[in-house]
A and B are shown apart, each in its own frame.
Chain A
Amino acid sequence: NAGVTQTPKFRVLKTGQSMTLLCAQDMNHEYMYWYRQDPGMGLRLIHYSVGEGTTAKGEVPDGYNVSRLKKQNFLLGLESAAPSQTSVYFCAIAGGDTGELFFGEGSRLTVL
């Protein structure tokens, strides 16, 4: 997971609270992704970015916003957290010979 750092690693929120997850990379890659992982389901893409200043919706974007003001940082925001957003969130960057993904360590979010 070297090169992709997520903060915070753990967070507990109350319904309606807001928060921001930060993903920082030092690998100078263009493509960055935010996924959520829930038991019994595959990774689901929330939002992604193909470069500084760009963002796009993934499979499950509702309830989330993102920003990519700097190439190395990709922020995921929850404006009004809901229990359905309890999940493990992974940031990833695309690189390598085959465009494989390098993941951050994950951020475990619980919404009460």
Chain B
Amino acid sequence: GQNIDQPTEMTATEGAIVQINCTYQTSGFNGLFWYQQHAGEAPTFLSYNVLDGLEEKGRFSSFLSRSKGYSYLLLKELQMKDSASYLCAAMDSNYQLIWGAGTKLIIKP
């Protein structure tokens, strides 16, 4: 079956760095997406990886290892506004997205 696993909740301190991990099992693979979702709001696109390696975009970076079925989202210089849920989604061979349940990130001052 197809599956995405990510931690349910993480806590970090303002100004610090946090890494949110995601492992996936899909029938075929056409890329890995990360979305941010603030409470009561819609998800918004953060990053897309289809090749192995690190993609950096400002304070956020996303890493992919296809051979390990593994990705992580790295958030640097954490700000209070980064408190949100982070959703991992893998695209299978039919270009359908398989979603994780999301990781709720709590930022403490």
Which residues of A come within 8 Å of B, CB atoms? 1, 40-45, 90, 96, 98-106
Which residues of B come within 8 Å of A, CB atoms? 4, 8, 31, 33, 35, 41-45, 48, 87, 89, 95-102
Given the known interface contacts A98-B31, A98-B48, A100-B33, the answer about A42 and B43 at a Cβ–Cβ threshold of 8 Å is no
Given the known interface contacts A42-B87, A43-B87, the answer about A101 and B45 at a Cβ–Cβ threshold of 8 Å is yes
Q: Is the CB of A90 within 8 A of B101?
A: no
Q: Is the CB of B97 within 8 A of A45?
A: yes
For B100, give its contact among A42, A90, A102, A106 (CB under 8 Å). A42
What 6 A-B pairs come out closest when comparing CB atoms?
Answer: A42-B99, A103-B42, A98-B48, A100-B45, A43-B99, A42-B101
Cα distance, A101 to B100, chains bound together (Å): 15
Q: Is the CB of A1 within 8 A of B99?
A: no
Across-interface contacts of B8 in A (CB, < 8 A): 40
For B42, give its contact among A40, A44, A104 (CB under 8 Å). A104
Of all chain A residues, which has the CB nearest B99?
A42
Distance from B84 Cβ to chain A, minimum over Cβ atoms (Å): 14
For A105, give its contact among B35, B42, B45, B100 (CB under 8 Å). B42
Q: Is the CB of A106 within 8 A of B42?
A: yes
Some 16 contacts from A to B, beta carbons below 8 A apart, are A1-B42, A42-B89, A42-B98, A42-B101, A43-B43, A43-B97, A45-B96, A45-B97, A98-B33, A100-B33, A100-B48, A101-B33, A103-B43, A104-B42, A106-B41, A106-B42
Q: Is the CB of B41 within 8 A of A105?
A: yes
Across-interface contacts of B101 in A (CB, < 8 A): 40-42
Cα distance, A1 to B35, chains bound together (Å): 13
Q: Is the CB of A102 within 8 A of B45?
A: yes
For A103, give its contact among B31, B44, B95, B99 (CB under 8 Å). B44
- 10 additional A-B pairs beyond A42-B99, A43-B89, beta carbons within 8 Å, are A1-B42, A42-B87, A42-B100, A43-B43, A43-B99, A44-B99, A99-B95, A102-B45, A103-B43, A104-B42
Distance from B35 Cβ to chain A, minimum over Cβ atoms (Å): 8
Distance from B33 Cβ to chain A, minimum over Cβ atoms (Å): 6
